[in-house]
Amino acid sequence: MRNLCYPGIDSHLRQHNEFVQTLNHMIEDFEEDGATKALSNSINTYLINWLIKHIKSTDRKFGEFFIKTEFKR
């Protein structure tokens, strides 16, 4: 992304950092309370929603940029 000077890199990386932070909080919850049904549901819902939204939106935008940039070279 940096090598291609992708204009959306800051936002894209911020989303990944927020994703990691949220997962770390879920790990902390697991370490404190163990494997609860509520935590399991929360993790499943979060991962499915985040991955679908991120891939369909953010990754797609980068993919379109990548294709345009690579074909110009």
Using CA atoms, how far residue 2 sits from 6, 9, 12, 55, 73, in Å, is 6, 7, 11, 19, 16
CB 64, CB 54: distance < 8 Å: no
Domain ranges of the chain: 34-68
User: CA triplet 65, 71, 73: central angle to 5 degrees?
Assistant: 105
pLDDT in tens, 7-66: 999 999 999 999 999 999 999 999 999 999 999 999 999 999 999 999 999 999 999 999
pLDDT of residue 73: 60
Residue 72 has pLDDT above 80, yes or no: no
pTM of the model: 0.80
